Chains A and B, each alone.
Chain A
């Protein structure tokens, strides 16, 4: 069935350090893996996504890596800033019903 696991559930980092969030998924047929950022009181917003035909994608300080063999993908935030503090959700698209399944979210706190 659809299952996306996300860990750690909370992560505190010093400003300027890197943050890494890892997700695992259960359906080997998934081919689309987005990451969403949710700030307090707002809806989730896409920050980066990756498709199964590539292993890594980068956008400024954010990068996502995908390991299809191990069925996991990770979000990397470098040179963290206070505005990076938010809840981050990973998701995976499942072929069976063509829906996105979300992880439970990760609270990232950047300490100034």
Chain B
């Protein structure tokens, strides 16, 4: 039982490049989330998916897109990376939308130069 798995763990992009962060959970959770963590800013929600087939914007969605491919997988895409998107990205999942324990992945450290 792996929990929440994120790939890659580290990535360096040049400004303007695109990439997709992958996330998969094996706990049969309905809800999945993408957060970014910046020094002094805590965890800020980018997008979330309450169930398969639905996605909603969070606090800081600009510059990102998401896909809930199936119940297990929720990907985050940066179409044209900017230095302001340098951050640590966390994927999380929970059973009932927000109302039970959220499990986090190990994070992806992204640097945009």
Contact = CB atoms under 8 A, between A and B. Distances in A.
B50 interface: yes
Given A99-B48, A104-B42, A32 B98 contact: yes
B97 A98 contact: yes
B106 interface: yes
Interface in B55-113: 56, 58, 90, 92, 97-99, 101-107
Given A98-B50, A99-B48, A99-B58, A44 B98 contact: no
A102 B46 CA distance: 13
Interface residues of B, number: 24
Interface residues of A, number: 23
B45 interface: yes
B41 A98 contact: no
Contacts, number: 54
Nearest to A42: B106
Main secondary structure of the interface of A (DSSP, over half): strand
B104 A44 contact: yes
B40 interface: yes
B7 to A, nearest CB: 14
A93 B98 contact: yes
Contact of B42 (A43, A45, A102): A102
A25 interface: no
Shortest 10 CB-CB contacts between residues of A and residues of B: A43-B104, A104-B42, A102-B43, A98-B97, A46-B101, A93-B98, A98-B98, A44-B104, A102-B42, A105-B42
